[in-house]
Structure 1
């Protein structure tokens, strides 16, 4: 079989699942090509450079008109390469994906989409257009069950499978075991406060992340019980620093700046008691859970990222009522008491379980490859 995977660009965090897909294609005697531009329109986003797999890459040129994308050279290359299956990123604002998926489906190619599917917040024309787009493939592969269940109600005859999402769990697991079995897991008194429950936020400091809610919740609680590490940089940093100053919480809140070194991040997350992400939690949920740290985020699932499904309420994290500071404060205090009562060891096991079983690149690649290969009758007809 010849397989094509079409993206706008491949972010560095996709490396583990892409490597697994290449591995599986070689094991099965198949050929796989990854087609994308090597330039991102997102500032500071590191891309995967496919070291060692250059023969699996084909570059096309992305032409952006605001949020809409046309991939120059995509259709002509796909026509020349003539894959059996084409996997497109399921972004309905990618105009070339509309044309290419319809064109190659008519030509008898098997079409798969890989993406968010729906969020549940769509209305009006946007909902209509997205639902039409989601009917184009033979199979739509979603990042989670929430989107899959919504699509089953809305998207007609398309087959919908959940393939979940993943980070570099193999590397993270190695770091976790080192932290769990050596002196490397010792808290630094300069960073952590051994007399307080240590909270952490990791991500870009933007308004959609609602980091101010963590600071306001600490202000409502007994601030002597809490220490907050904010790891990241972004346009909201000055406003957050001012808020900390206004509440007199300078001794409780430390701005760590942007950190991209996974060794440093693993140590910070592992030694934190609770990860709090009041906005859309995204990949931060899986990043915290793999190091055994419970996650608190909001309960507005129609505006959440699909990774919220890795959180099991009151088992490895909690959901607070969206934008409700009192509710957030209540969940933070609940977990502080839970940790004091039960310790961290059992909590770490519950946190890591969904990552090791479901949200990892080996499982994700296996599920994707199953969908690539699933419809044997499709190829027999050819």
Structure 2
């Protein structure tokens, strides 16, 4: 078995699925290096007392980030391969990557790549960074791959690895909510539980453009179409959203549940809904909802999206509306709610599950990673 280093600034809790799959691998021995406190104020994954995790605390100097003690440690190491998550401003990880390359160790950057198709200076600099600092890339999405290829990157050095959540636990939970439980949950949240129920799960931040969703609820109400909206999450936009709800006098249709990190409860809340809507960049929200059989709506501008929007297949498991267009968002909500009425519940769920079970799971990811190094 080869020893493979996985070097991140810190490891987020939502990466539990792939972290545990790598720890359990029988093909390679994976060792994780990073800050045990995580990064970007996201709840960290708890490695407990695992010997396969080494703590290198992160700190910042100006715009640059470092991991204390990392460079000193890697100087004496020669693993069978290395995976890093490293934008250009994580200096310690970049230096560590170069040290390994000098030693003849293959280093892959698991990264977003280039998310826009613009041929601007920033994208060209990222192209140079990826080309000369790493042996290959593991990307979250196909759009980023195509953007790099158009800039001249060797397509043979790019593997699309997608993303995953706690797939093993989610598989056990999906399809467990009974019709009676579903109705009970909806009744506990809304005065009119028979209305169609929309959902957003994630952080309530400005990037998510959730004000558009509330405006769409208002526009639907003006057409005498009444839908409920459940927010599962917290963030700095909550008060503004609540003020907007009051302005439109739709408080009886909106419920702010708060943040939830309990997967069982999240399964119930998602599964009780008819559709998930994320008007801004969607990210992991798409995966979370599709995993539990709930179709997803987000916007269609790939240059302003996160890679996970690629999991949405219009008229199959969701819809894409014109970026920033509230009227079109309203229409796509109607489209998906009508789509649900033309399909059986089991078919709707299967159409959501399909892409998750094929690509967005740790089994797909670990097979790709093992093959890269073997």
In the TM superposition, residue 67 of structure 1 has moved relative to its aligned partner by: 4.2
Match of 2:275 in 1: 274
Partners of 2:78 and 2:100 within 8 A in 1 = no
Partners of 2:109 and 2:134 within 8 A in 1 = yes
Q: Does 1:100 align with 2:99?
A: no
Unaligned 5+ runs, structure 1: 374-382
Match of 2:365 in 1: 364
In the TM superposition, residue 226 of structure 1 has moved relative to its aligned partner by: 0.7
Deviation digits for residues 69-120 of structure 1, max 9, x if unmatched? 1223222212222112111113222122332222321221111111111101
Partners of 1:90 and 1:116 within 8 A in 2 = no
In the TM superposition, residue 307 of structure 1 has moved relative to its aligned partner by: 0.8
Partners of 1:279 and 1:297 within 8 A in 2 = yes
2 CA distance for matches of 1:92 and 1:77? 20
Match of 1:137 in 2: 134
User: Normalised by the size of structure 1, how large is the TM-score?
Assistant: 0.91
Match of 1:376 in 2: none
Deviation digits for residues 300-356 of structure 1, max 9, x if unmatched? 111211111111111101110111001101100111222233343211110111111
The secondary structure found in structure 2 opposite 1:233 is: coil
2 CA distance for matches of 1:206 and 1:112? 31
Partners of 1:98 and 1:133 within 8 A in 2 = no
2 CA distance for matches of 1:295 and 1:34? 33
2 CA distance for matches of 1:223 and 1:360? 40
Match of 2:327 in 1: 326
2 CA distance for matches of 1:341 and 1:335? 10
User: Normalised by the size of structure 2, how large is the TM-score?
Assistant: 0.93
Partners of 2:233 and 2:259 within 8 A in 1 = yes
Q: Does 1:21 align with 2:22?
A: yes
2 CA distance for matches of 1:241 and 1:223? 22
Match of 2:122 in 1: 126
Q: Does 1:213 align with 2:209?
A: no
2 CA distance for matches of 1:90 and 1:154? 20
1:226 to 1:81, Cα distance in 2 relative to 1, 3 A: same
Partners of 1:200 and 1:230 within 8 A in 2 = yes
In the TM superposition, residue 190 of structure 1 has moved relative to its aligned partner by: 2.5
The secondary structure found in structure 2 opposite 1:280 is: coil
The secondary structure found in structure 1 opposite 2:199 is: strand
In the TM superposition, residue 299 of structure 1 has moved relative to its aligned partner by: 0.8
In the TM superposition, residue 49 of structure 1 has moved relative to its aligned partner by: 1.7
Deviation digits for residues 43-64 of structure 1, max 9, x if unmatched? 3x22112246x11111113121
The secondary structure found in structure 2 opposite 1:81 is: coil
Partners of 2:38 and 2:45 within 8 A in 1 = no
Unaligned 5+ runs, structure 2: none
2 CA distance for matches of 1:121 and 1:201? 28
Q: Does 1:174 align with 2:172?
A: yes
1:12 to 1:50, Cα distance in 2 relative to 1, 3 A: same
In the TM superposition, residue 206 of structure 1 has moved relative to its aligned partner by: 1.1
Match of 2:354 in 1: 353
In the TM superposition, residue 123 of structure 1 has moved relative to its aligned partner by: 6.0
2 CA distance for matches of 1:185 and 1:255? 18
The secondary structure found in structure 2 opposite 1:164 is: coil
2 CA distance for matches of 1:93 and 1:122? 21
In the TM superposition, residue 40 of structure 1 has moved relative to its aligned partner by: 3.2
Report the RMSD for the aligned CA atoms in angstroms.
1.8
2 CA distance for matches of 1:294 and 1:267? 15
Match of 1:197 in 2: 196
2 CA distance for matches of 1:184 and 1:366? 37
Partners of 1:152 and 1:160 within 8 A in 2 = no
The secondary structure found in structure 1 opposite 2:177 is: helix
